[in-house]
Amino acid sequence: MLFIYLFENNPRYADRASHIINRIKDRGDVLCTGTLTLTEVLTGMYRRGHEDDAARARQVFERIEVLPFTVPIADTCARIRARFGFSISDAIHLATAADARTDVFVTNDNALVGKSVPGVQFIVRIDTDLF
């Protein structure tokens, strides 16, 4: 959701999303996301007929490490779904993060916050003071 909030200029979370992304860059950390995130961002733009916005979003994602959905990630995804009962999209996001050995997974979904997923050190809300 971090990227969706930013691209859709969400009145509540866009500034926070921008702050988090800037802090990640300032610290020299790697900003990454899965291909599903790009799909989710582009879907809303195409649904609204905003082809120019979609083109700009694709350019932004070229500067981010976009992680592919692979067979091992699919297996991890299935394990996460079996354990927690998360939606397929949440499980894909978490499995992708786990495969990348992510330090921090940022979400606005309280159902995910604080869960223990091997490969992800911390799952935090977007409004955490961590950043």
pLDDT band, residue 113 (cuts 50/70/90): very high
Length of the chain: 131
* Token pair recorded at residue 74: 């699919």
Fold category of 2-125 in CATH: Rossmann fold (3.40.50)
| pTM metric for this prediction | 0.92
Q: Which residues pair with 125 in a beta bridge?
A: 107
User: Quick one: pLDDT band at residue 1, thresholds 50, 70, 90?
Assistant: confident
Q: For the chain, give every domain's residue range.
A: 2-125
CA 64 to chain centre: 11
pLDDT in tens, 57-107: 999 999 999 999 999 999 999 999 999 999 999 999 999 999 999 999 999
Q: State residue 131's pLDDT score.
A: 76
Alpha-helix runs per DSSP H in 1-131: 2-7, 14-27, 35-47, 51-61, 71-84, 88-99
Phi, psi of 19 (to 5 degrees): -60, -45
